[in-house]
Amino acid sequence: MADDSDSSRSNAHGEIMRATYRALRDHGYANLTIKRIAEEYGKSTAAVHYHYDTKDELLAAFLDYLLGRFKDTVHEVEIIDPERRLDSLLDQLLIEPNDHRDLLIAMLEMRSQAPYREAFGERFRGSDAYVRYILRTVIEQGVAAGAFDDVDVDHAARALMTVVVGAQTRDAVLNDDESDAFETARRLADEYVSAVLIDDDSGAN
Amino acid sequence: MADDSDSSRSNAHGEIMRATYRALRDHGYANLTIKRIAEEYGKSTAAVHYHYDTKDELLAAFLDYLLGRFKDTVHEVEIIDPERRLDSLLDQLLIEPNDHRDLLIAMLEMRSQAPYREAFGERFRGSDAYVRYILRTVIEQGVAAGAFDDVDVDHAARALMTVVVGAQTRDAVLNDDESDAFETARRLADEYVSAVLIDDDSGAN
């Protein structure tokens, strides 16, 4: 059956994910329905249910999709210098949301449901772990190259992750036009890198 | 009418707030009902509705109550030395939740609803502003006393607020037994204070 081929399955997957993105952004998590996703998809709810049994299953796939997209952008970066690479990674993680602020709010709603929905909890823990892994890798390279001090790399990655999550959560509550959340976090991350990772007084040991 | 006196009204208020605390902790926000709060209160739902028309109105009052309790604990601190006072404030803000982890999760649920419920948004913005005000005051005292460098005090308060919110949000998603959220954030706050607020190389100007 042509419709069951891998490529048509994967096209449908991508289209449903993009439809979910728009539906989440416009309606938030609490008011999201398969019907609304199907409307964005331009097909019937049955066509969505053919791929995903439940809304939560679809949303777990959506969290995988977002993490996959983030991984792609990370892998595209070709900067080798560790200090500049960390800077570029922090830019990616702490970019002002602007046009996807509503998606961030929906993500916070899903995050707050993680303790009640194991499939969500698993994904948020997975993305926390992945972002920390990438941060750790870049910082380790910097330590090896002598660009950063011989710091506790695992802690430094967790610390920067805390800054990222803090920005996302503060931004969701502050008013759009006066939110300092991402600007503050980006500056804090810079201060952390300059003052803690790079200590001009002592070389890496 | 005796029951309408200020003191009985205020007793009822306190009892309903404590009942709400327990009900939120046990059921989370999404599954909270006036019935469950009334059960914890030990009275009828009508007795709750006598004081609060809707669940959201009651929860807005609960957010005021929590901020009030936090203000009380801040005012009780009698430490004068700015560095130790900031340290104690960070302890209060970043204490391991342990027995009130479930309440933190419920608070994150309410926070994620803030964009849809103005009464919640107003309270979360108010508590963000209050905590920043307290941090700013303590840091300003430290700058005046020469204990801290002449930093951008407003930014430093926002930065530490980002760390607090980051810890609360990360903790809600990580597994209870392996969450590093508060430990990481407390250490990050210390690093920020030592490396950014206190620069041993230069005195405050």
> Mind listing the pLDDT tens digit for each residue in A106-164?
999 999 999 889 999 999 999 999 999 999 999 999 999 999 999 999 999 999 999 99
Of the candidates A137, A124, A36, the one whose C-alpha atom is nearest the C-alpha of residue A86 is A137
Percentage of residues of chain A with pLDDT beyond 70: 94
According to the model, what pLDDT value does residue B201 have?
A: 55
Residues A169, B100, B180, A87, Cα dihedral to 10°: 10
Contact B172 A111 (CB under 8 A): yes
Contact A105 B112 (CB under 8 A): yes
Contact B173 A30 (CB under 8 A): no
Split at pLDDT 50, 70, 90, the class of A201 is low
**Closest chain B CA to residue A178:** B125
Of the candidates A79, A86, A74, A78, the one whose C-alpha atom is nearest the C-alpha of residue A196 is A86
According to the model, what pLDDT value does residue B203 have?
A: 44
Residues from chain B that touch A105, judged by Cβ atoms under 8 A, are 112, 115
pLDDT digits (tens, 9 = 90+) for B184-201: 999 999 999 999 999 665
pLDDT reading at A49 higher than 60: yes
Query: What is the number of other CB atoms lying within 10 angstroms of the CB of residue A33?
Result: 12
ipTM field: 0.90
Split at pLDDT 50, 70, 90, the class of B100 is confident
Query: CATH number for the A56-197 domain, one of 3.30.70.270, 1.10.357.10, 1.20.1090.10, 1.10.760.10?
Result: 1.10.357.10
- Where would I find the H helices in B28-81? 34-41, 45-49, 55-76
Query: What is the number of other CB atoms lying within 10 angstroms of the CB of residue A85?
Result: 20
According to the model, what pLDDT value does residue B200 have?
A: 64
Contact A162 B108 (CB under 8 A): no
Q: Quote the CATH superfamily of domain B1-53.
A: Homeodomain-like (1.10.10.60)
Residues from chain A that touch B109, judged by Cβ atoms under 8 A, are 112-113
Split at pLDDT 50, 70, 90, the class of B63 is very high
Which residues from B are below 8 Å from A when comparing CB atoms?
Answer: 28-30, 105, 108-109, 111-116, 121, 124-125, 128, 155, 158-159, 161-170, 172-175, 180-181, 184-185, 187-188, 191-192, 195-196, 201
Of the candidates A126, A118, A192, the one whose C-alpha atom is nearest the C-alpha of residue A155 is A192
Mean pLDDT (chain B) is: 90
| CA separation, residue B200 to residues B11, B46, B136, B189 (Å) | 52, 62, 21, 17
Of the candidates A27, A28, A23, the one whose C-alpha atom is nearest the C-alpha of residue A110 is A28
Query: What is the number of other CB atoms lying within 10 angstroms of the CB of residue B4?
Result: 7
According to the model, what pLDDT value does residue A88 have?
A: 94
According to the model, what pLDDT value does residue B3 have?
A: 53
CATH number of B63-197: 1.10.357.10
> Between B176 and A186, where is the model more confident?
A186
What residue ranges do the domains of chain B occupy? 1-53, 63-197
Of the candidates B99, B89, B109, the one whose C-alpha atom is nearest the C-alpha of residue B32 is B109
Residues B12, B13, B18, B19, Cα dihedral to 10°: 60
| CA separation, residue A55 to residues A60, A91, A192, B72, B83 (Å) | 9, 32, 40, 44, 50
The phi and psi torsions of B102 (rounded to 5 degrees) equal -65, -30
Residues from chain B that touch A111, judged by Cβ atoms under 8 A, are 108, 112, 169, 172-173
Contact B111 A185 (CB under 8 A): no
Contacts of B54 (CB under 8 A, 6+ apart): none
State the residue for tokens 């602020």.
Answer: A101
